[in-house]
Amino acid sequence: MRPRHVGIVLCAAAGLFSVPVIAWSARPSSAIPSRPVQREVPDDTAALSRLLTSVRGANPLFCELATRMIDGRNYWSSGGRDALVEMDASASAMIRWVHTRHEDPRFVPRLIPALRDSDPCVRRVAGGMLGRVAHPSARTALLAALDDAGAGTREVAAIGLGLQEDTAAVQPLVARLRDASADVRRTAAWALGHIEHKSAMMPLVELLGRDPDPRVREAAAWAIGQVTGN
């Protein structure tokens, strides 16, 4: 990512995730600028609640920036750990926390209702976060949400399953390639491309040939490339 773009993303993330979660320690003065000693965000449901509260009501631009951070689509190759370019240290700590693999099953009951929240950014963040919870109950929750009556919930469930990269989700996602919602079909195709399982190839080829929505076809073409290259 270009440095200018990194600065834009971190500025936006600072506005969304600014919470008092790290401490700064005094260091001897020198010619080299001092760097913060960072206390990482604890892996608990309180941090999760702060995250969901931070994104509620976010406008589409800031929500997109936030979810790209959660998905790992806009994360600096250094792992985001260079304090010299941090705009807000507490926001950077929250971003690092988001990008860890979470194993606390208590996250799951907190995130399940968020998948059905009326706020689209809360739903989107909840789907991404469930995709990062390494516990069987997270996959169960996402698979159940994939059959929800609400298209917005089905969409974010597909994203979460794609982030988990679990082959058990392949057939449920293939079924969603015929969903009434174009957004669900598109995210299901993306998720299958992320999982990269060969059994999804023919359903994706068929989707590419039949779907009337150009964004769905684009996602199908990308997913086919991912599966082919695996």
User: How far is C-alpha 200 from the chain's CA centre?
Assistant: 22
List pLDDT tens digits, range 89-147.
777 777 777 777 788 888 999 999 999 999 999 999 999 999 989 899 999 999 999 99
CA distances to 49, 99, 211 from 19, rounded to whole Å, are: 11, 17, 44
Tell me what the mean pLDDT of segment 49-54 comes to.
91
Residue 184: both structure tokens together: 């669900």
Q: What is the dihedral of CA 113, 119, 122, 127, to 10 degrees?
A: 70
Structure confidence at residue 217 (pLDDT): 98
List pLDDT tens digits, range 4-42.
444 444 444 444 444 333 333 334 444 434 444 444 666
List pLDDT tens digits, range 182-228.
999 999 999 999 999 999 999 999 999 999 999 999 999 999 999 99
Structure confidence at residue 25 (pLDDT): 36
Distance CA 147, CA 76 (A): 35
Q: Where are the alpha helices (DSSP H) in 56-210?
A: 60-71, 89-98, 107-111, 120-130, 136-145, 151-164, 170-175, 182-195, 201-210
CA distances to 85, 88, 134, 178 from 183, rounded to whole Å, are: 36, 34, 26, 11
- Domains, the chain, in order of start with CATH, read 168-230 (1.25.10.10)
Confidence of residue 166 (pLDDT cuts 50, 70, 90): very high
**pTM score:** 0.76
Structure confidence at residue 85 (pLDDT): 62
Confidence of residue 43 (pLDDT cuts 50, 70, 90): low
